[in-house]
Amino acid sequence: MRFADLDLRHLLALDAVATEGTFARAAERLGYTQSAVSQQIGALERILGERVFDRPGGPRPVVLTPYGAELLRHARDVLARARQADDALERFRRGERGRVVVGTYQSVSTSMLPAIVGRLRAERPEVEIVVHESDDDDELESLLTDGTVDLTFWVGHVFEQHEGVELVTDPFVLLAPHGAFAPGPVSPAVLDGRPLIGQQHSSSCQRMNEAALHAFGLDLTYVFRTNDNGTVAAMVQAGMGLAVLPRLCIDRHESRVAVHRLDPPIPDRLISLVWRRDRTTSPVAQRFVEIAVAVAAEVQAELTSGAETAA
């Protein structure tokens, strides 16, 4: 494979001499010395075992041999592809193109992810974004560990073996039918022995709020469990029971139920965004993180304001 033994600089010299007609003008075009261009063409001819230029001498331009003309056709294809690759790599380096795969769960998918994706797509429309959603924390961690996702949202602190950023502290609130309680905060004690609507135990949020409520010495009686947050609200509206959910699990436009702060509160859940410590993140993944931090700051401000105004 003698052609494969050529370097791009050989092909650049061939193209320049063929275009300019003289070694001197080719050297000016490339920013080389004339002797350097001659050496490149000489090396090319030795590698291929064929002359590529007829050199009439004097002021007359050099002329491609038939072999040289055929070689130039292939050389220009290679050089065009190299320029395309150079442009694509530079755009990838700037984060203007590429692919990011993100793990997420329902509440983040509805509350934060649309804003993050929308801003990233507006900035960089050629970027490909793929999302894997799961309500199972173990599955999200597995997707990150095996490299299926580049980043994942996570409930809790950043894993010790990974890197990440803490985004939002999300308070737990009480969902109740309208009129069930007076406006304002409600004590967790009202849940004692009452029928409750909860998420499945695969949800870390459910495990967190049950542990916190048990710490108050409450008798918790679940009559229905689902990981669909809209279904939880619908069942509360229907009078099937009360529910405790993180605030971001509740649609901001939800009007079917009343939302009450808990007083005393139970610990907020922490939402983080994590990635593998031992993997280099792509420029587009880095930009995703930057936008996520900005969106999370806005969401946190809304949550703080909402905590003060919740019924």
Burial class (CB in 10 A: 0-12, 13-18, 19+), 38: middle
Cβ neighbours of 7 (radius 10 Å): 12
Burial class (CB in 10 A: 0-12, 13-18, 19+), 84: exposed
Amino acid at the residue 163 = E
Domains in the chain: ranges and CATH: 3-93 (1.10.10.10), 102-166+271-309 (3.40.190.10), 172-267 (3.40.190.10)
Residue in the block written with tokens 């072999």 = 67
Taking the CA atoms of 108, 112, 118 and 124 in sequence, report the sign of the dihedral they define: negative
Contacts by 66-69 with C-beta closer than 8 Å and gap 24+? 68/14, 68/18
Reference 236, options 275, 289, 197; nearest CA is 197
Give 275's contacts (C-beta < 8 A, 6+ positions apart). Answer: 144, 150, 151, 152, 162, 163, 164, 281, 285, 289
Decide: pTM greater than 0.85.
no
The per-residue pLDDT string of the chain (311 residues; one tens digit each, 9 = 90 and over) reads 688 899 999 999 999 999 999 999 999 999 999 999 999 999 999 999 999 999 887 778 899 999 999 999 999 999 999 999 999 999 888 888 999 999 999 999 999 999 999 999 999 999 999 999 998 888 999 999 999 999 999 998 887 788 999 999 999 999 999 999 999 999 999 999 999 999 887 788 888 889 999 999 999 999 999 989 889 999 999 999 999 999 999 988 788 899 999 999 999 999 999 999 989 999 999 999 999 999 999 999 998 886 544 54
